[in-house]
Chains A and B, each alone.
Chain A
């Protein structure tokens, strides 16, 4: 994974950083301007499968999105933006996913405001090891059956979501029919 922008947001991530604010150059720290195609090539963009663009400047991020998309049409591009109005532009520039700062933080604040304990629970899942999510493939004998007609609830626990292909079915209703390949997501204590 290539990460454009070495800063407070990205620095705990694992990947190859591209930026100019560190004074080393090794396989995980590529010194150079990420707007420059040559720098991105040096970081190995042609072979990578994911690039995170989070320089802290929306226009710059969108520009890098364009450059990255041109260098590798198949790469997965994730962009961090500040302004709502730029989200559409980033998708047009070729981003696969946009993380809007104000939306992510705002959601967390509203959650703490309106559902304080639920927020606490979600934060435990998000930040601590004490509570985690885990997923299992639907066992063959449950395929085609409704969730309520199985003994999953009793034997494993409450299914909080089902991941089906790219979609995620949150809070599935008891009458949801299980498909082959579904991932059932549970809380793990």
Chain B
């Protein structure tokens, strides 16, 4: 059993109850068998409580008058003081500590208020994502029932509007749902209700779940098992897709929206390769045109997907 504050309080209460029972039992035995007097349970409990609370006022029927009784009373008073004061000390200390820590924590990690990413659920995946976001300087808030202390967080249930509001969801740029499939669907519904524009990314484990979460309002749903299965397959068959995907982050891929003077010109004419990098594809009206020809004419609104210059040689 860990000695958390809660456990300490429970232990303390149990000890005080046994202390009262012990005192009352001692009182009854001495009163009846040593002093040969009639007594009641109420008197016995009064004796115990008055003693350990150091009340000091004892009505006539609640005092032990025999030699043994007086010694018992002295011994019992000592024991009571030890337990009450010792016990209180072990509770008040950690309680104060907890208060101070909470106050400090709230001061140390302020919550971002604008254009941040809200991450629902804290697990290995969230840990990876928060580390990367921190490196990239993207602000984020973790929402979990047991959030980690060293990152900006909100304690609570992501499927509740109140919790999401605490995480300033209405002004966040994206929400990432890393809970199980059912909860991710709930989170998507809830978050979509709070904000129309927010970009919701969720993970799913089954095809069916993927559909449901999409219908719940998520913009992107990532099928965890499908992706892992593909990665295993590509690795096992020696497909070079594996190498490319396994280090996608080391091949930064960027996007550039075509506008102004860049519009209506050929790729070759723009010297895109020299100025920006290798064009992988052009995104036009929701369609991807891969591998465009140098004579391809870019239009305003096209999004060029490219690998930035400088390459990499690893």
Could you tell me if A113 and B248 are in contact, using CB atoms closer than 8 angstroms?
Answer: no
Q: Please name all residues of chain A whose beta carbon is closer than 8 Å to the beta carbon of B213 when the two chains form the complex.
A: none
Number of chain A interface residues as a range:
35 or more
Q: Is A124 in contact with B278, judged by CB distance below 8 angstroms?
A: no
Number of interface residues, chain B, beta carbon within 8 A: 67
Decide: B228 and A176 in contact? CB cutoff 8 A. Answer: no
Measured between beta carbons, the chain A residues less than 8 angstroms from B37 are none
A107 to B251 CA separation, bound complex (whole angstroms): 12
Residue of B nearest to A168 (CB): B243
List of A residues within 8 angstroms of B244 by Cβ:
133, 160-161, 168, 170, 185
Minimum Cβ distance to chain B for residue A44 (Å): 16
Binds A, one of B11-19, B58-66, B198-206: B198-206
CB within 8 Å: A-B pair count: 191
CB contact under 8 A between A157 and B236, given known A102-B125, A126-B227, A171-B311: no
User: Which residues of chain A from 171 to 186 have a CB within 8 Å of any chain B CB?
Assistant: 171-174, 176, 183, 185-186
Give residues in A with beta carbon < 8 Å to B.
1, 8-13, 15, 50, 52, 54, 76, 78, 80, 82-84, 97, 99, 101-122, 124-127, 131, 133, 135, 153-154, 157-158, 160-161, 163, 167-174, 176, 183, 185-189
Could you list which residues of chain B lie within 8 angstroms of chain A, going by C-beta atoms?
Answer: 117, 123-125, 127-129, 132-133, 136, 138, 174, 176, 199, 201, 203, 205-206, 220, 222, 224-233, 235-236, 240-241, 243-245, 247-251, 253-255, 273, 277-281, 283, 288-291, 294, 303, 305, 307-314
Question: A115–B313 Cα gap in the complex (Å)?
Answer: 22
Q: Which of B125, B199, B255 contacts A113 (CB 8 A)?
A: B199
Cβ contact of B227, chosen from A105, A163, A169, cutoff 8 A? A105
B129 CB contacts on chain A under 8 angstroms: 106, 109-110
Report if A13-B241 is in contact (Cβ < 8 Å); known contacts: A84-B124, A131-B290, A169-B312.
no
28 contacts between A and B (CB under 8 A): A13-B232, A13-B233, A52-B232, A78-B235, A78-B236, A84-B128, A104-B231, A105-B203, A106-B132, A109-B201, A111-B248, A112-B222, A113-B176, A113-B201, A114-B138, A115-B254, A121-B280, A121-B281, A124-B288, A131-B290, A133-B240, A133-B241, A135-B240, A170-B307, A171-B312, A173-B310, A174-B273, A187-B290
Q: Which residues of A contact B128 (CB under 8 A)?
A: 84, 102-103, 106
Q: Chain A interface secondary structure, helix, strand, loop or mixed?
A: mixed
Q: Are B240 and A183 in contact (CB under 8 A)?
A: yes
Give Cα A83–Cα B124 distance, bound, in whole angstroms: 7
Q: How far apart are the CA atoms of A42 and B290 in the complex, in Å? A: 46
Least distance between A21 CB and chain B CB atoms (Å): 15
